[in-house]
Amino acid sequence: MSATFDEVFALPDGRVLPIGPSAFVLPGFARLSMDDVLPTLSEIARRSPFRHMVTPGGDTMSVAMTNCGRLGWVTDRRGYRYTEDDPDTGAPWPAMPAALSQLARAAAAAAGFTAFEPDACLVNRYLPGNRLSLHQDRNERDFDSPIVSVSLGIPAVFLFGGHKRSDKPLRVPLMHGDVAVWGREDRLRFHGVMPLKENSHPLLGGQRINLTFRKAA
């Protein structure tokens, strides 16, 4: 019998791995929060269902998205932006659950960014084969705050590039519970996600969920 994820990957041990001057991976940081976090994700998706958004160029994204928090990130033919209401339901995005904002704040602090107060949490759902092409996160008004990115479910290879699209990216494996935090001089680096491989996770099945917390306004 093969080992399960939980046998192979140990509990978080406080490591903070630098992937840039102001960019860090906290291995397993979110693993002990799952009892509080996972039920909030079902409730968010019930109120604002995952959907495949369209880029300004007219491509439908393979990654399915929803949001929670006062502001949610959206894209359509008119561009990328943050909205207070879910365009699909016409209602405000679901509020950010305390379990999520607390996790984001604790991870930011562990990486040396104190007083992070996210107002937006983008929830990305990847299935095998889905990918996210290299991009910069530049739709936020506040580039002084870091971004906190929580990976859940099946593993992915994160591409962490430079300040030019053509800079060769670092390949960073992200497992269930890993949290990436970056800001300051790394805040605008290009990044993306390689196509996911088929896999299965005991809590989340054959999918990867990524939570990206930002201070958008």
Instruction: List residues near ligand MD6 by CB under 6 A.
Output: 124, 132, 137, 147, 149, 158, 180, 191, 193, 210, 212
Query: CB under 5 A: which stretch of 14-22, 42-50, 68-76, 129-137 binds Fe ion?
Result: 129-137
| x/- map, 83-122, Fe ion, by CB under 5 A | ----------------------------------------
User: How far apart (Å, rounded) are the C-alpha atoms in residues 158 and 18?
Assistant: 14
Look at residue 108 and give the partner it binds from ligand MD6, Fe ion, none, a contact being a CB closer than 5 to 8 Å depending on partner kind: none
Binding of residue 186 to Fe ion (CB under 5 A): no
The nearer residue to Fe ion, 137 or 140, going by C-beta atoms, is 137
Look at residue 66 and give the partner it binds from ligand MD6, Fe ion, none, a contact being a CB closer than 5 to 8 Å depending on partner kind: none
Least Cα distance to 143 among 184, 203, 97 occurs for 184
Q: Strand, helix or coil at 75? A: strand
Biggest CA–CA distance in the chain, Å, is: 51
Binding of residue 137 to Fe ion (CB under 5 A): yes
**CA atoms in the 13 A half-sphere facing the CB of 186:** 18
Segments of 39-119 assigned E as strands = 64-68, 72-76, 79-83
